[in-house]
Each structure stands twice: as structure tokens, then as C-alpha cells.
Amino acid sequence: MSEAQIDLNAFRAEVRGWLSENLPPELRQAHNRATSVFVEKQFNLAWQAILLRKGWVAPHWPTEHGGTGWNEAQRYIFASECARAGAPSLAPMGLKMVAPVIMKYGSEAQKGYYLPKLLAGEHYWCQGYSEPQAGSDLAALQLRADSDGDDYVLNGSKIWTTHAHVANHMFCLARTNRDGRPQEGITFLLLEMSTPGIAVKPIVSIAGDHDFNQVFFDNVRVPKANRLGDEGKGWTVAKTLLEYERAAAYAAGLIEALAEVRAAARDAELLDDPAIRRRFAELDSQVRTIHAVEDMVLAAIGEGRDPGPASSMLKVQGTECQQKIQELAVDVAGIYAAPYQFEARQAGSNTGYVGPESALTATARYFNGRAASIYGGSNEIQRNIMAKLVLGL
């Protein structure tokens, strides 16, 4: 069915009605109480299982692999209605990041093995990119993958590895050659976190959340059959994956986040303050701009094209707008955003707390949101990409 034949109002009504009947209150509460990038694994997978039964897990996947066949307008409506309903977001490392590159670079055997398990939530992925001396400069990575018969033997470490402590699989960049240009010696590997020699150490954030980890590799054997693409060509695979990571859908979530802060400001009788009104107006304008850029990116993905530098534009605008909304939320919460309120949130209790519900998560989200302009390639790196590929500088 062409886009012209699709009744988008009817589609929105269908999605909204289904969400109202199938989104459990405990998953909505998990979303509302979440302060970091993702909700906890058990809530994430519970929601994925519900979407799987409906066939709505992977709107961006091709239909032959279990996608919905929706166009970009339908995908945006679905994302906006999920945000409006308070549905927890699904972890993107598997469904939105490694899955597209498996489809593009994987063998038929790899596609047949990994994609159904990704769709079903059997495989929960983490991303092994950053290292202690190689963050946004991934060409500086040093994790060694030495050839030994049918295996690579890995030694080194990865850091800031989100959900490595609960993931059962990792997609990983490793150095298989130290000669020539640094980018030419990198290989893209898929590995199981239960492999002997892997150790995961937690990194707890300033907000008290445990999302990040450092992962150590001590003579970890990974079959060469788990290599994605050719040996030494992992840089190309990695760049493609990062375009999908940076092309995250921001607008729907930002619209709802801004609406929540506006409601809190109304309750606090702050909307008559000219400075507060000006900040809301600026953010409204920025979200509309992000929506326009997002349409470009979603159209490219929907047509099977890589997003290219537009994903860098979206990443910069989306993360910086998110941070501004979080800053405004803290200012609106006032004294109720004091850091000691974390204790009530982490204990799952509001005992002794008399402030608004929205203020419980304001400061923790503000602290966690500082990382958004760093992970996925810092925004300074994204501006360099735009300068080179868009402006020709």
C-alpha cells in the first residue's frame, strides 16, 4: 500500500488504542522512573515480548527479516505514540545498531542465526567500541585479536560498555593488524559474553546508576566464523553502525519530555515568568527542527540508504536539546531536585518526600544526560564530520 493510500489518522488511532490496552502499568512506571538511557533489562525485554506478539518489535527492519513494512510517517507516529503512552524504549544495541550491519555485511548463516534471536530478545547486546585510550578516536583502539588457527585470541579492555553486566552478546572492534594506517587493521567481531576470559567490572555514575562497565579480555578465544565482514575491514562496518546509532529517533521523546516539564512548570506556577516562557519557546523551535532532520534520516533508512552526515546533525541537535530540557527540568523542580532525593528514588520509596513526582528524577536525568553528547562519538567529532562532508571544509 502506498503512503497516499494509508489513512495515517486511522493508523494513529490503531496504535494509540493498542497501547492503551497492552502497555502494563508496571512498564509505564518503569519508564517514568528511569533516569538513564535505558530502562532495566527485565522491563526492556518484557515490553519487547509484548511487541513481538504484535509484530511491532522492529519497525525499521525489512519485512523479510520480521519488520513491519511501515513507511517513515508510520514509524514516526508509532514512536510518538509510544512516547506519549510512556512505553519503555527498547535497547538499541541489538535491534537498531548491530542488526542493520548484520543484514548488510553478514553471511547468510550469520543472518539466519542472529536476526531471529535479536528479534525475539534471546540475544541482548552490548557495544565494545571505546577503550581507556580510544574514545571518540576509535582508530586508536588497542584491543588485540591475534590469529590462532580458526580463532582470534583477544587481549585488552573496553570501557563505558553500557549493559555489559547484563548482556549475553557483544559486537566488538579489535586490532588484527598493527601495520599501515590504523583504520586498516581493525576487525569487527561478534562474541558471547560467557566466553572464558571475559571479566566485567561496574562503573557507577554520579547519579548512582549502574549502566556502564569496563570489560577485560584475557586470552579470549573468538571463532573467526564470528567475524562480520572481511578481516581488517571493520572500520567500514563500524562507521555504518555508528550512523545508525547516531540516527536515533529523538523528536517524539523530546516532545513528551518537554510536555512533562511544561506541566511541572504549570503546577509550580512558573509559566508567567518571562525567562521560563522564553526557554520553552526556544526549545519548541529546536524540537521542530530536529523533527525535520529526523524525517530526512528516517526516509534514507526506509529506502535502504545509509543516513550519512545527516545522522551527525541529528545526534548533535537531539542530544543538546535533550540536555537543555533536563536543565530546565532541574530549574523548574527547584529545591525538590536536591541530590539527596536520589535516595528515595533508588530505594523505591517516597518516604519523607513531599515534592512533585517529576522532581524525583530531575537531577539524576540531568547528570546522566551529560554523557549524551559524548557517547556515540562526541558532538565535537560530529561537527568535524559535518564540516568535512557537508560544508567541504
- Rounded Cα–Cα distance for residues 131 and 138 (Å): 8
Answer whether residue 15 shows pLDDT above 90: yes
Q: Between 167 and 96, where is the model more confident?
A: 167
Is the four-CA dihedral 36, 37, 43, 45 of positive or negative sign? negative
- Rounded Cα–Cα distance for residues 337 and 341 (Å): 7
User: Model-level pTM greater than 0.75?
Assistant: yes
Determine the pLDDT at residue 1: 43
Q: Between 303 and 49, where is the model more confident?
A: 49
* Backbone region of residue 238 per phi and psi (left: phi > 0; alpha: psi in -120 to 50; beta: other values): alpha
Are 174 and 157 within 8 A, CB to CB? no
Are 145 and 222 within 8 A, CB to CB? yes
Section 218-242 average pLDDT: 92
Section 114-132 average pLDDT: 95
Section 368-389 average pLDDT: 84
- For residue 127, what are the β-bridge partners? 171
Q: Between 188 and 89, where is the model more confident?
A: 188
Q: Where are the alpha helices (DSSP H) in the chain?
A: 8-22, 25-33, 41-54, 72-85, 92, 99-105, 108-120, 234-246, 251-267, 274-302, 310-333, 342-346, 362-369, 379-389
DSSP label of 105: H
Determine the pLDDT at residue 295: 75
Q: Which of 166, 174, 156 has the alpha carbon at shortest distance from 215? A: 156
Band of the pLDDT at 342, cuts 50, 70, 90? low
Q: Between 77 and 194, where is the model more confident?
A: 194
Among 2-6, 177-181, 319-323, name the one with the lowest average pLDDT. Answer: 2-6
Residues involved in catalysis: 245
Section 101-125 average pLDDT: 96
Band of the pLDDT at 296, cuts 50, 70, 90? confident
Query: 44 to each of 63, 164, 333, 372, 384, how far by Cα in Å?
Result: 23, 15, 28, 20, 34
Determine the pLDDT at residue 133: 84
For 313, the 3-state DSSP assignment is helix
Determine the pLDDT at residue 199: 98
Which residue type is seen at 246?
Answer: R
Q: Between 98 and 308, where is the model more confident?
A: 98
Determine the pLDDT at residue 314: 85
Answer whether residue 82 shows pLDDT above 60: yes
Question: Cell numbers 570489560 correspond to what residue?
Answer: 215
Band of the pLDDT at 4, cuts 50, 70, 90? very low
- Each residue of 24-40: pLDDT tens digit? 999 998 888 888 777 88
Determine the pLDDT at residue 375: 78
Q: Between 300 and 22, where is the model more confident?
A: 22
Count the helix, strand and coil residues of the chain and give each as a percent rounded to the nearest 5. Answer: 55, 15, 30
Among 64-73, 166-175, 271-280, name the one with the lowest average pLDDT. Answer: 64-73
Determine the pLDDT at residue 41: 92
**pLDDT mean across residues, the chain:** 87
DSSP label of 172: E
Answer whether residue 190 shows pLDDT above 90: yes
Determine the pLDDT at residue 198: 98
Band of the pLDDT at 2, cuts 50, 70, 90? very low
Answer whether residue 250 shows pLDDT above 70: yes
DSSP label of 73: H
Q: Which of 222, 190, 220 has the alpha carbon at shortest distance from 106? A: 190
Question: H/E element holding 215?
Answer: strand 210-223
Question: H/E element holding 360?
Answer: none
Section 255-275 average pLDDT: 92
Answer whether residue 347 shows pLDDT above 70: no
- 169 phi and psi, to 5 degrees? -140, 155
Longest dimension (CA), the chain: 71
